[in-house]
Amino acid sequence: MIYKQPMFKNEELKDKVIVVTGGGSGLGESMTRYFLQLGAKVVITSRKLEKLNATAEKLRLETGGDVLTVACDVREYKAVENVLAETLDKFGKVDVLVNNAAGNFISPTERLSARAFDIIIDIVLKGSKNCTLAFGKHWIKTKQASATVLNIVTTYAWTGSAYVVPSATAKAGVLAMTRSLAVEWAKYGIRMNAIAPGPFPTKGAWDRLLPGELKEKFDIKKKVPLKRVGEHQELANLAAYLVSDYSAYVNGEVITIDGGEWLQGAGEFNMLEAVPQDLWDMLEMMIRSKKKD
Ligand code: HXC
Ligand code: NAP
């Protein structure tokens, strides 16, 4: 399948320095792998240094690329400033920030403590804000010619979703920040875009969103018109495009990559997918006969 293949083949990200938050696992790791294959230097950051170091070592062996690991809780502005300082120290500049780190779990909202709600808002919204503000200030102060922020949101940033309300609230804020700063910071050469993934299997997301028997009970593929989940490479392809100079005129955009999942949930009559083909002759006849009444 072509969508499982790398889209760019050469060193399209050569010499770019990219910081990926939450880069030690899941989609962050997959994006990092591809950025390295395309010649970028990548800094991966999250709370657990041991995990980051193991991922970095694996990716160095696989790609021969240059990866720096920095432990950072994105909720702490000082820790984020330290990521920036270590990046500049090692690579001399930074071109791209990917706000990918997130926290989430399913729960009826009334069962959440105030702290539990805060934790998700703080990781997703405050964390993305902390990184964007620290890096943006740096780019503006140093008059860097161009820079890019890529935010990983989800489709329920605009539809909302029951049972993941803190996450939906926070991702909606990140999307609003993306669109707002796309305009405000364009004059500084800073582009802001977002990707809204549908279901992409990762341990971090699926253990928390479909724990235990829920995995068997809800076949997530059935929610997707294309009847499959996402491949990490196809998301990495989109991310590579959005952080590359090929997308230089794309600004303030959120690109959905979900096989049509959210639209299937939204369309008033989409439930008619369940009607078997051979029933349509009869249904059409019934509808047409109404005209004669
Ligand atoms: C109710 C819960 C809970 C649960 C935790 N809490 N789990 N409340 N139901 N299932 C409460 C705790 O009791 C505590 O509140 C508060 O939340 C914080 O919990 P801690 O364990 O102390 O926090 P921490 O160790 O910082 O862990 C953060 C975390 C954890 C978010 C809870 O899951 C985590 O580290 N996640 C990181 C990775 C992740 O979530 N990846 C998935 C992203 S997927 P009290 O009041 O008791 O102190 C994603 C996909 C979206 O975003 C779209 C899919 C299609
Ligand atoms: P994941 O592997 O759990 O990724 C989340 C990452 O965030 C982890 O590496 C985690 O590392 C890091 N993180 C969590 N809290 C942090 C904090 N306070 N400070 C710094 N880093 C922190 O899950 P994933 O599925 O790859 O998710 C990646 C992104 O895709 C998220 O933004 C998620 O919302 C989005 N997304 C995923 C899906 C999907 O189906 N997988 C769908 C839609 C959107 P540490 O634990 O080491 O800190």
Ligand 1 centroid–CA 101 distance in Å is 13
Mean pLDDT computed over 192-218: 92
Find the ligand nearest to 123 CA: 2
pLDDT tens per residue, range 45-74: 999 999 999 999 999 999 999 999 999 999
Active site residue 156: yes
CATH number at residue 252: 3.40.50.720
- Number of domains the chain is built from: 1
Rounded to whole angstroms, the Cα distance separating 17 from 54 reads 20
Rounded to whole angstroms, the Cα distance separating 96 from 238 reads 15
pLDDT for position 217: 86
Q: What is the pTM of this model?
A: 0.97
Ligand 2 centroid–CA 106 distance in Å is 15
pLDDT > 90? residue 216: no
Ligand 2 centroid–CA 216 distance in Å is 23
197 and 154 in contact (C-beta within 8 Å)? yes
Mean pLDDT computed over 148-163: 98
Q: Are strands 254-257 and 17-21 parallel, antiparallel or unpaired?
A: unpaired
For residues 53, 58, 62 and 63, what is the CA-based torsion angle, rounded to 10 degrees? -10
Question: Annotated catalytic residue: which of 156, 188, 246, 249?
Answer: 156
162: CB partners within 8 A, 6+ apart? none
Q: Could you tell me the residue range of the domain that residue 267 belongs to?
A: 2-292
pLDDT tens per residue, range 176-192: 999 999 999 999 999 99
pLDDT > 80? residue 293: no
Find the ligand nearest to 202 CA: 2
Residue nearest to atom 12 of ligand 2 (CA): 22
- Return the percentage of the chain with pLDDT > 70, whole number: 99
* Residue 257 burial (C-beta neighbours within 10 Å; 0-12, 13-18, 19+): middle
